[in-house]
Amino acid sequence: MKPLAEARDEVLAAVHPLPVVEVLLEDARGLALAEDVVATEDVPPFDNSAMDGFAVQRADLNSVPVVLPILEDVPAGSVPSQPLTSGSVIKIMTGAPLPEGADTVVKVEDTSPVGTTEVQISAAPDLGTAVRRAGGDVKRGTTVFTAGTRLSSTHLSVLASLGVAKPLVRRRPVVAYMTTGDELVPASTATLRPGQIRDANTHTVGAILDELGVEGINIGAIGDDADELREALSSAADQADIIITTGGVSMGEYDLVKQVLTELGGVEFWKVAMQPGKPFAFGRIAGTPLFGLPGNPVSVMVAFEQFARPALLKMMGSSALLRPRLRARLEREVSTNPEKIVFLRVALRHDGDVLTCDLSGGQDSNVLSALASANGLAVVPFGTGHVAAGEFVDVEILRLDDQ
Ligand code: AMP
Ligand code: MG
C-alpha cells in the first residue's frame, strides 16, 4: 500500500495546467487566473458622493443651522456643470461626481428644503465626510489578484469594476465520469428488485464537479461487463481531460475497472494506505488520466477529495490545491487502523472560543448519512491509531456555510 502523500505526488506529477484562454467574465466563475491582474484605472474612477445630500465647503458650516442657495442638481451618471463656490451648495446623489471646490457631503437627512432654490443645513459633519476619493478602493497600478486565484463572485465583481471583461484563465477541465455495477439502478427507480440499489455516485460526482467549476460529461452507469466497460472508457478518453470511474477497483471477480485499465493503458498504482478509499486505481486510457474511485459513496467522496480535486485544481492552474485545515478538539475517543491515514467524517462546532468536532455518524464507508451531515474530514495520521477524547486534530474543511 502506498502512503497517501506519495500517491498524491504521483497523481499531481502526472497532470499539467491546461492551456490559457480568454473567457468572458460570465463564463469565468471557478476558473483560475493565468496572469496577475494589475489595475489600469482607479476604482472608483472619480471623487464621488457616498450619500444622497448636498456637496458643501465645510468652512461654510461653522455655525449651523445655515441656509444656503443650491447651484444645481447632480444625479448619478451626470457631471456638475460648474465648480462649487463658497457660500453655496450643490445637490448630489450617491455615486455622482463631487463638484470641484466641494470637500464634504451633508446627508439629506441633516437638511430641509427652503423653497425650491435654497436648503437649510442643520449639521456640520467633519471635513471629508461622505466623500469617496478616486482610487480609494483600488489604486491604478496595484496588483489586484495574482495568477492562480480562483474566481468567485466577488473576484468577478472587482474585475468588472476594473474593466477586465475577458480575463486570462486556464481552460475549464472536462471530466467524463461513469459508475460501474450490475446492481445499480437510477435514483428515480420507485421499487427496487432484490439485489438492486439506487445509484448515488453519479449524483455525488456530478455535483462535486459542478461545485468545483469543472465540466462533467456523464457517461452513465456501466454494467460489470468487460466489453461494455472497454467501450465506455475509450469513448470517455476521446471526450475528456480526465476520466473518473466509481466501483470495480477492489478484489472481487467482477471488479473489472482495474483489469480493463491494465489492458487499455496501464495502472500506475492501486491501493493507498488510507481509509476510507483504499482501493483506488490511478492510470491512463490512451494517455488520459483515469481516477478509479472505489464504489462506496463515502470512499468516492474521500478519494475524490484526496486525489481528483487537487489534480483538477492543478490543471486549472489554481495556486491552492488542498483544502484549508483547522485544528479542532475531537469530542470523543477514536481508535483507528494505525497502518492507514484515516479520515473521520466530522461536524465542526464552536464551544466558546474553541473549535470542536465530533463524528457526524457511523464511520463505515457505506454510511452516507454521516457524510451528508459532516462539514470536515478529521485526519488521524498514519501510525497514530488512537485519539483520546479532548485531543486536537487537523480537520480538512469541506464547507463552512453550515457550521
Ligand atoms: P465495488 O467497489 O464495485 O465492489 O463497490 C463497493 C460497494 O459500493 C458495493 O456495495 C456497491 O454496491 C456500492 N456501490 C457501487 N457503486 C455505487 C453507486 N453508484 N451508488 C451507490 N453505491 C454504490
Ligand atoms: Mg461493483
Q: Is the CB of 394 under 6 A from ligand 1?
A: no
65 preceded by a cis bond (ω within 30 of 0) = yes
| Residue showing cell 476558473 | 31
Contact 232, 238 (CB under 8 A): no
pLDDT of residue 403: 42
Ligand nearest to the CA of 197: 1
pLDDT in tens, 336-391: 999 999 999 999 999 999 999 999 998 888 888 888 899 999 999 999 999 999 99
Tally Cβ neighbours within 10 Å of residue 138. 16
Radius of gyration of the chain (CA): 30
Contact 164, 207 (CB under 8 A): no
| Angle (CA) 18 247 250, round 5° | 110
Ligand nearest to the CA of 223: 2
pTM, rounded to two decimals: 0.93
pLDDT of residue 402: 55
C-alpha 288, offset from chain centre: 25
Contact 315, 264 (CB under 8 A): no
Contact 62, 86 (CB under 8 A): no
Contact 146, 33 (CB under 8 A): yes
> In testing the pocket of ligand 1, which one of 196, 197, 205 has its CB within 8 Å of the most ligand atoms?
197
pLDDT in tens, 110-130: 999 999 999 999 999 999 999
Contact 170, 21 (CB under 8 A): yes
Tally Cβ neighbours within 10 Å of residue 15. 18
How does 265-287 read in b/e, with b if 16+ C-beta sit within 10 Å? Answer: bebbebebbbbbbbbbbbbbbee
- Between the CA of 342 and the centroid of ligand 2 the distance, in Å, is 23
pLDDT along the chain (403 residues), means of 10: 94 97 97 98 97 98 97 97 98 98 98 97 98 97 98 97 98 98 97 98 97 97 95 96 95 85 84 91 94 95 97 98 97 96 96 96 86 94 96 94 56
**DSSP state letters, 178-227:** EEE-TTEE-TT-SSPPTT-EE--HHHHHHHHHHHHT-EEEEEEEE-S-HH
Q: Which atom of ligand 1 is nearest to the CA of 179?
A: 19
> In testing the pocket of ligand 1, which one of 177, 180, 182, 184 has its CB within 8 Å of the most ligand atoms?
184
- Domains and their CATH numbers in the chain: 4-17+171-315 (3.40.980.10), 20-43+136-170 (3.90.105.10), 48-132 (2.170.190.11), 325-397 (2.40.340.10)
Q: Which atom of ligand 1 is nearest to the CA of 249?
A: 2
Q: Is the CB of 330 under 6 A from ligand 1?
A: no
Instruction: Tell me the residue type at 380.
Output: V
